[in-house]
Amino acid sequence: MAYNSIIISSGHGQYVRGACGIIDEVNEARVLVERLATDLRFRGVDVKTFHDDVSYTQNENLNRIVDFHNGHIRQLDISVHFNAYEQVPHGMGVEVLYVTQGTLAGQVSAAIAAAGGLINRGAKKRTDLFFLNSTEAPAILLEVCFVDSEADCFAYRDYFDDISAAIADTLSGMSGEDIPDVPLPPCETTMTGKVSWFGGPGDMGVAPDEGLAFIYNVEQAPHLFLPYQPEDTTGLARRLNPFVHYIALRWNYDEMTKDEILKHVALVRALKTGVDLTAFPADWGPHGDTDRLADISPGLMHDLGIETDDEVEVIFPYRGN
């Protein structure tokens, strides 16, 4: 099951301390809760977090935490704790407590164990815990590892990133590899140079089977293409709709991924006519041997009122004003 909205709280509170050994339960829980929230948000999950900085008694603390959870709409409640037993050098492991969510508890425990190299103690049904009994949404309580096991604490520290990502993967139903790259917001760049045209059924300079540099099928950018494959051709370059405003530039894929390029538009201004129009990225080009800056669609060239080798100014990515 993939959850869209989750509330995560750290166990205990600022003045109602939990276990303390090699690591401190409350401090670690707070750090992990925030990291997990970030990892989940990257996977598209709506997450709220809560840490109790106010309560002085355990009763007050438990009620305050549960009140926060129950005061919001969400699909899942999570409480993050660390376990304690006695000072030992060997591993003790992870367990996830539940009342109704046995399957999920087992999955999360196994994910944490695998990511952190921790012993998997697995899902444990506990009917005596206020958090699990009083939260109204499905709930699980993580006991990530033992604060007094040296092996656990070292593994937890070493694999902190992996543990958080593994929990986020399990809860979101996504793999970390599915997360789109989040490049830094690119700056607008202004370039000036000569222009030519390319693409469409009438571009005899392009082989009938020639493809495009970063569009591999029509579905990726249907607005760029003719509804049919032109006769005697098989490639996407000849299927471009010559009336659509598109552009090829020598994009630097290190600065912006191919997927990201497709999400932006360029502004093309004809220096001769002063007309400017936006254009969709469609291909990489023109070849570096030419002295041209850009190749554009026949339709764009017409609408700008210019011809081959006239000069254009190109702004990419263009943000609108």
- Whole-number minimum distance, CB 56 to Zn ion, in Å? 17
Site residues (CB under 5 A) for Zn ion, limited to 65-84: 81
Q: Which phi and psi (to 5°) does residue 63 adopt?
A: -65, -40
| Shortest Å distance, C-beta 13 to Zn ion | 11
Between residues 25 and 295, which has the closer beta carbon with respect to Zn ion?
Answer: 25
Shortest gap between Cβ of 37 and Zn ion (angstroms)?
19
Q: Please answer whether residues 46 and 72 qualify as being in contact, where contact means their C-beta atoms are separated by less than 8 angstroms.
A: no
Secondary structure letter of residue 105 according to DSSP: H
> How far apart are the C-alpha atoms of 232 and 244, rounded to whole Å?
22
Residue placing its CB nearer to Zn ion in the complex, 80 or 267: 80
Q: Which stretch binds Zn ion (CB under 5 A): 4-12, 41-49, 232-240, 301-309?
A: 4-12
Give me the residue whose beta carbon is nearest to Zn ion: 81
* Residues near 311 by beta carbon (within 8 Å), at least 6 away in sequence: 192, 193, 194, 195, 270, 271, 272
CB 114, CB 148: distance < 8 Å: no
Total of residues contacting Zn ion (CB under 5 A): 3
Q: Side-chain half-sphere of 64: how many Cα atoms within 13 Å?
A: 19
**What b/e readout covers 250-289, taking b as 16+ CB neighbours within 10 angstroms?**
ebeeeebeeebbbebbbbbbbeeeeeebebbbbbbbbeee
Map tokens 């139903």 to a residue. Answer: 173
> In the bound complex, what is the minimum distance in angstroms from residue 80's beta carbon to Zn ion?
9
* Beta carbon of residue 3, minimum distance to Zn ion (angstroms, whole number): 23
Distance in Å, CB of 153 to Zn ion, minimum: 15
Query: Of 30 and 81, which CB lies nearer to Zn ion in the complex structure?
Result: 81
Q: Is 30 in the site for Zn ion (CB under 5 A)?
A: no
Query: Using CB under 5 A, which of 7, 8, 9, 11 touches Zn ion?
Result: 11
Which residue, 18 or 138, has its beta carbon nearer to Zn ion?
18
**Chain positions contacting Zn ion, by CB under 5 A:** 11, 18, 81
